[in-house]
Structure 1
Amino acid sequence: MPQNPFIIATKTVNAEVYVFDYSKHPSKPPMDGACSPDLRLKGHNSEGYGLSWSIFKPGHLLSGSDDAQICLWDINATPKNKIIDAQQIFKVSNVHQSSSLHEIFHFIIALDNCHDGVVEDVAWHLRHEYLFGSVGDDHHLLIWDLRAPSPTKPIQSVVAHQGEVNCLAFNPFNEWVVATGSTDKTVKLFDLRKISTALHTLDCHKEEVFQVGWNPKNETILGSCCLGRRLMVWDLSRIDEEQTPEDAEDGPPELLFIHGGHTSKVSDFSWNPSEEWVVASVAEDNILQVWQMAENIYHDEDDLPTGEPASTPTKGP
């Protein structure tokens, strides 16, 4: 939780979300392997991946799962036997056989605008406390507003990719920009003011994209990782820059760097909030790497300190 780093939320295979207060648990797990969460959050019917803490409201947690639902909890609520039920569930209501044609028509409209399948990821907007986004296996990117009268209707919806959408991230500097990653091997950028058409497509991954993340100290720097053991760093300020034929063979001008240090699928990564170019990445072989690009990769030669040797920028590790 951003307001308290000791509070940690985790997804489980039994559909519940567990919340732990790290300060109340030993550094070494008990010998019997028993898991004792401080809170158990209920609302989902199946497991999933997406979790997002609100940076505006302490204790407000979003979750997306395989049950095509998005749950919202306030962990400040009074638990009953350490259990807290979802404060709100975003889903399409079931249509009963006795429903009128009018009700069925409105159900179909709602269904067209909501997730029809697994919700892969959720994320709070970083500027507007009532907004959040979700993506799913139905190829859609949805934008939701907690102030809307109906929880079954997102305020914006777009078919974002040709494949399942695995992740999304709002830009921390530009309130209109959101990035998505997909099984179609691309990363796309969208402008919330005109969400119907992607601003730009980053197309260099050889396998499906699992995670995207913005540099918290630089508006134009975006990272993405994929099944192909690579983590790519993009500089969007370089889009459409002229390239030599040799440079073009390495990728588009906005591809700044490729980290190839992992030997297994890169599951997730995180930018260091204090050091602008430091990244921690983790792979499915349980190896965590903390790494940083050489300065000459992200700085022009003319910007390097006097007397420092400048090597040719490379997009390799």
Structure 2
Amino acid sequence: MKEKAKEVEERYSQWKSLVPVLYDWLANHNLVWPSLSCRWGPQVEEATYKNRHRLYLSEQTDGSVPNTLVIANCEVVKPRVAAAEHIAQFNEEARSPFVKKYKTILHPGEVNRIRELPQNSNIVATHTDSPEVLIWDVETQPNRHAALGAPTSRPDLVLTGHKDNAEFALAMCPTEPFVLSGGKDKCVVLWSIHDHIATLSSEAGSNAKQGSKVVSDSEKATESPSIGPRGIYQGHADTVEDVQFCPSSAQEFCSVGDDSCLIFWDARAGPTPVVKVDKAHDADLHCVDWNPHDINFILTGSADNTVHMFDRRNLKSSGVGSPVNRFEGHDAAVLCVQWSPHKSSVFGSAAEDGILNIWDHEKVGIASDSTHPKAPNAPPGLFFQHAGHRDKVVDFHWNASDPWTIVSVSDDCGSTGGGGTLQIWRMIDLIYRPQEEVLSELDKFKSHIFGCDS
């Protein structure tokens, strides 16, 4: 154990020394409590040198104070603004001045997963250790103080339908206000938030017809409204760990679970699988993502330490021979995978080894020669490793409105005895820009560099 801790500290020290070279910008924020989920909300302000974004986080406490869903304001410095020496100067034990709490919601139970609604960025869904999915309007929810014994905040809507706890598998549909969840009951459940709006309008109409008064806020306050599912889908033999909508269809989605299966569903075809890949990996599957630029490609991450890329035009129902690419660059279970919103071939993977890898599947198979220098023994497709976390990276999210900017969180309780670390970072553009462009830019500085040398 001591050996492992020493190794982690050595790796971290080496990473820290390279920060000014590898990053265009980095903010390190020490969390009192670990966060299991982090998501970008909308951009709320633009200034000359930086933009302000909403950030959704959770705080997993030890019970001495309530668990919370945190809405923060985050200042993201624009590309090529921060000086290298400024990026390098951060204290691991301190909170970042770039991240400030905006609102706190006292969550009933731990926040295991947060997802924002694309059609309305103020609406978020959360998973906790229960069968329900909770829906929150983060703008209208009152700001609460996390004091011991304080009553929990009241969700704006509760989605019911699971028969057992649903803790991690959660997705929002890009095209319709639909919510998807998976749980320990081995089921995938689909809801429409529209069903709640329809229920509200019909209730208001019937109250008006009967001449009865509409229920007052104080009478409603004791209980959140709830809706049942549009559909329940059965086909997994163990806990469903992650779910994802097809980026172009509210009716098509996929799921992965502890049964090593990747399953594709179509709501129009009924409650049974359309395609089932029985052995997508050699172990439990933790995560799945569907490429928003090319709907044929799906990523899965597993406890077997690998990421697989599937082409849905070329799926086999049995055997691990089905993926079109395997990515082997982690030493522990992969917890999160996500395609880049800005480049169709790029994606990230985060794992229990404390590393967040950035890959480009188009680079797989490109022969390495003197004009394409590559780190020795680097796995095919890997072109950047973020090693700023000292314990398992439990979640990360690309910023859709700020290209190449990522937020990542680690649970540091195991290694440092602390809470967690939140990092917001953007690699230097020389790493991902076309090689000819970069060489041409560097060429401009050649005379200056050689001049300094003499």
Matches within 5 A, 1:245-284: 247=374, 249-284=376-411
The structure that has the greater radius of gyration is: 2
| TM norm structure 1 | 0.85
Asked if residue 307 in structure 1 is aligned to residue 432 in structure 2, the reply is no
Matches within 5 A, 1:54-203: 54-58=173-177, 60-77=178-195, 78=199, 82-91=225-234, 114-148=235-269, 150-151=270-271, 153-158=272-277, 159-196=279-316, 197-203=322-328
Asked if residue 298 in structure 1 is aligned to residue 418 in structure 2, the reply is no
Q: Classify the secondary structure of the residue corresponding to 2:313.
A: helix
- Give the whole-Å Cα distance in 2 for the aligned partners of 1:172 and 1:71: 22
Which residue in 2 is equivalent to 1:238? 363
Measure how far apart 1:128 and its partner are. Answer: 2.6
Which residue in 1 is equivalent to 2:136? 20
- Aligned 8 A contact 2:259 2:285 in 1: yes
Distance 1:308 1:205, change over 3 A: farther
Paired residue total: 284
Q: Classify the secondary structure of the residue corresponding to 1:76.
A: helix
Measure how far apart 1:215 and its partner are. Answer: 0.6
- Aligned 8 A contact 1:243 1:253 in 2: no
1:76-121 per-residue CA deviation (whole Å, 9 max, x = no partner) reads: 2227951212221112xxxxxxxxxxxxxxxxxxxxxx21000000
- Give the whole-Å Cα distance in 2 for the aligned partners of 1:14 and 1:29: 24
Distance 1:40 1:223, change over 3 A: same
- Give the whole-Å Cα distance in 1 for the aligned partners of 2:171 and 2:224: 24
- Give the whole-Å Cα distance in 2 for the aligned partners of 1:303 and 1:28: 50
More contact order relative to length (CA 8 Å, sep ≥ 6): 2
Identity %: 34
- Give the whole-Å Cα distance in 2 for the aligned partners of 1:33 and 1:283: 28
Q: Classify the secondary structure of the residue corresponding to 1:5.
A: strand
| TM norm structure 2 | 0.60
- Give the whole-Å Cα distance in 1 for the aligned partners of 2:353 and 2:146: 36
Measure how far apart 1:14 and its partner are. Answer: 2.1
Distance 1:263 1:33, change over 3 A: farther
Q: Classify the secondary structure of the residue corresponding to 1:303.
A: helix
Which residue in 2 is equivalent to 1:224? 349
- Aligned 8 A contact 1:238 1:253 in 2: yes
1:241-263 per-residue CA deviation (whole Å, 9 max, x = no partner) reads: 22369946341241010000011
- Greater helix fraction, Structure 1 or Structure 2: 2
- Give the whole-Å Cα distance in 1 for the aligned partners of 2:360 and 2:445: 23
- Give the whole-Å Cα distance in 1 for the aligned partners of 2:330 and 2:159: 36
Aligned CA-pair RMSD:
1.9
Measure how far apart 1:296 and its partner are. Answer: 1.8
- Give the whole-Å Cα distance in 2 for the aligned partners of 1:132 and 1:301: 37
Measure how far apart 1:27 and its partner are. Answer: 3.2
- Give the whole-Å Cα distance in 2 for the aligned partners of 1:81 and 1:189: 40
- Give the whole-Å Cα distance in 1 for the aligned partners of 2:379 and 2:368: 8
